[in-house]
Structure 1
Amino acid sequence: LDLWVPCSTDILASQYPALFSHVLRPSTSVARVLSSPDLCLDLAPRLTHAAELELGYLRNLLASVSLNLQEPDRRTGRSDGKPLTCNAAYKALWVGEPIDPLAMAIWKNYTPNKCRIFLWLPNKNRLFTNERRFR
């Protein structure tokens, strides 16, 4: 049985609101939580009754899940096996976008940065004229 457990904190917060309100580290990784047998959730010391019920339900649900440690994590891994970097993620975000012909002329020169930014704004139609500012 393949069971997909949602990993997004927004989804978990909507499914287990009482339990999520007691979490001290909402951005912890799934691997860290599942690495300990008692679910290292970093919860507040005393849970409400509703949070206790949600925690029990979540523990029962996760007891039936077995992780395949041989399967690579496709969310953070790259196809070449190297760890994901900000540079690679940024490039992946802009793959397929048209290349701006003026970008190299604007950014690869020896003018001060404020001049480059001033040239970039009208190039992207973001420089407000007086008429637009008054509107």
Structure 2
Amino acid sequence: MAPNLFSISKRKNRSLREAITDNAWVTDIDLQHQSFSVTHFIELQKLWNAASRLQLRLGVPDTIRWKLTADSHYNTNSAYRAQFFGSTNTNFETIIWKPWAPPKCKFFSWLAIQDRIWTADRLQRRGWASNPNCALCEATQETGLHMFTACNYTRNVWAQLSAWTRCPAIDPECWTPHDALHDWWTALAGAQVANKKGLRSLIILVLWEVWKERNARVFQHQEQSIPRLVARIRDEATTWVAAGAMHLERFLDAARRS
């Protein structure tokens, strides 16, 4: 409360009882100290107000009071809730963690939706040398929002998948502009479709495969055409279904009937 006053106090080892008896703590302070300033005076006022409100119950043992419950008694429920003080609510549970997808794809999605994957714009902010252009279209600065939603290469992938799955919601022609990847993702994952759980798994799958394609171009200098990437996404979707993505299977069934 008053670190500057404490630094010029002549008695730093008094007990609380000794200090407030006849306001002995005031006489301990070297008011003539050469460093005494307005800051010391403000702390003196705060400490005086606090001390004047303090009432010691002499002879009564100290007790521990838990501030997070009405009866001042500790319980584990209040301690658990205290861990979330200052936290913010997100929809990540709904659009990333609950849909079926391999853990590595979910973790990637969690990073991507917060713009924490190593796209060119983030590398530049760190001062790291990199090609600023999108590795897929080579026409625009690479950002997560551009690469997954605005890049011509990726939009063609989405369009072909829309026709294959008979899901108009993932056709880029149906999208509205967004300023952040999280906003776009939220809007697409909440689209009015019958199979929302399958759609959310499909979004994770497509973005994961687009990211892998981007990395193959950057680090291995290998690239695939749009039809080949779409075919790879189809194959991977079949694998996910075999592993347990039952909601994604409804999209495959629609594709088989087309």
Rg larger for: 2
- Give me the TM-score of the superposition, normalised by structure 2: 0.25
- Give me the TM-score of the superposition, normalised by structure 1: 0.41
Point out the structure with the larger helix share: 2
